[in-house]
Amino acid sequence: MSEISDHFHSLVPEYVRSLQVYQAGKPIEELTRERGLTKISKLASNENPLGPSPFAIQKMTNALWDVHRYPDMNAYALKSAIAKLYKLKKENIILGNGSEGIMGYIARAFVQPGHEILTSQNTFIGFYIIARSVGAQLKTVPLTSDYRFDVEALAKNITSKTKIIYICNPNNPTGSYITKKEFDYLMDHVPSHVLVIVDEAYFEFAAATENYPNSMDYRYDNVITLRTFSKAYGLSGIRIGYGFGHEDLIGNLTKVKLPFEPGTIAQLGALGALFDKPHLRRTIGNNQRRYQETFDFLAKHDFNPIKSVANFIAFKTGSEEASRYMFDKLLDHGVIIRQLKANEMPEFVRVSLGTKSEMRHYFQAMEEILPEYNKRYGRPKS
């Protein structure tokens, strides 16, 4: 066994062996098995608490009779709908298994071992894993004091080795965003040969923010916008996202993507969701109401939450131990939140915004655990 292990060890590049496996939010079923709870509110993975659109469900259900056929590899119907919505050509659009799937295409098409990728600390860890999986050198700069991407620091750190710049806007896990002015500043400093990935997974929640830079309003040849149907559209379980960019860029990504991806169910579910504007409006409305209630609750208890334009709020507990204690005690009450140790923010946790009932469950659980929490750790420092 040892010889076999040594043999495989030599086959795997060091940059793959050193990767950390992505850890998702705790599943409801797992907590049910572990603690025998019946009332569970999952507020860990930034999912749409209202669920998918009924139109999406109908289209997916009807498509089950045709799953013996391969999907439309060109995704004509869905690409046509996206193209019409954003006034694009279908050649400007690529689909993937969530926006992470398209990040994987980008890494496969444009990145080689030793290439430098520039981004921020404390951003989406899934991108870190993808970048490192192809042997890229990941260069990060700290967030600003108010937990936002520091565009000036990014601009100063662009070198001749820089291949890609990754911007998560709004940022996960902080919910903060760069402004139009900041995006313009950054792009003024980015050479044309450097690819800029703008990850707008939470775009729908931020779109109404006055100075939020919708990257599709720009037409930079070296920018690719990534969006997803997993968040506001409530389709996390079928894994479908899309990217928009120059047709030459998209054409090269298409060469390295897997054939017949995404599948038929995903394509049709996304198509149904895209046309159900009332469901999207309900989603945004619920998020706005739950955000204010949750922000006020956390502020009342002196947790100094980070202002967010997404569907989650991160706040400081004060230490990794305090974060772990809060996470574990909330599990006892059937509430799942997210610790941020993997994001190198161990003294923070993140809570997704659920339904009114789910957030009431969270508030009640917090009220139950806070007396002992405060006795152990005191108020978190701002």
pLDDT tens digit sequence for 319-367: 999 999 999 999 999 999 999 999 999 999 999 999 999 999 999 999 9
pLDDT at 190: 98
| CATH architecture, range 22-51+278-377 | Alpha-Beta Complex (3.90)
Question: Domain map of the chain by residue range?
Answer: 22-51+278-377, 54-275
Rounded-to-integer distance, Cα 296 and Cα 186, Å: 33
**What does the buried/exposed string (b/e) look like for 206-229 if buried means 16 or more CB atoms within 10 Å of the residue's CB?**
beeeeebbbbbeeeeebbbbbbbb
Pairing of strands 312-316, 348-352: antiparallel
HSE (CB half, 13 Å, CA atoms) of 184? 7
| pTM > 0.85 | yes
Which are the contacts of 280, defined by CB distance < 8 A and separation ≥ 6?
53, 204, 232, 233, 273
Rounded-to-integer distance, Cα 150 and Cα 153, Å: 5
- pLDDT tens per residue, range 179-215: 999 999 999 999 999 999 999 999 999 999 999 999 9
Which amino acid would we find at residue 124? Answer: F
Q: Are 213 and 180 in contact (CB under 8 A)?
A: yes
Extract the residue ranges of the chain whose pLDDT is less than 50: 1, 380-382
Q: Which residue has the tokens 């809570």?
A: 351
pLDDT at 55: 97
* DSSP assignment of 169-196: SS-TTT-----HHHHHHHHHHS-TTSEE
For the chain, the distance separating the N- and C-terminal CA atoms, rounded to the nearest angstrom, is: 52
From the list 345, 382, 316, the residue with the least C-alpha distance to 124 is 345
CATH class assigned to 54-275: alpha beta
HSE (CB half, 13 Å, CA atoms) of 54? 3
* DSSP assignment of 111-180: --TT-EEEEESSS-HHHHHHHHHTT-EEEEE---TTS---HHHHHHT--TTEEEEEEESS-TTT-----H
Pairing of strands 41-42, 241-244: unpaired
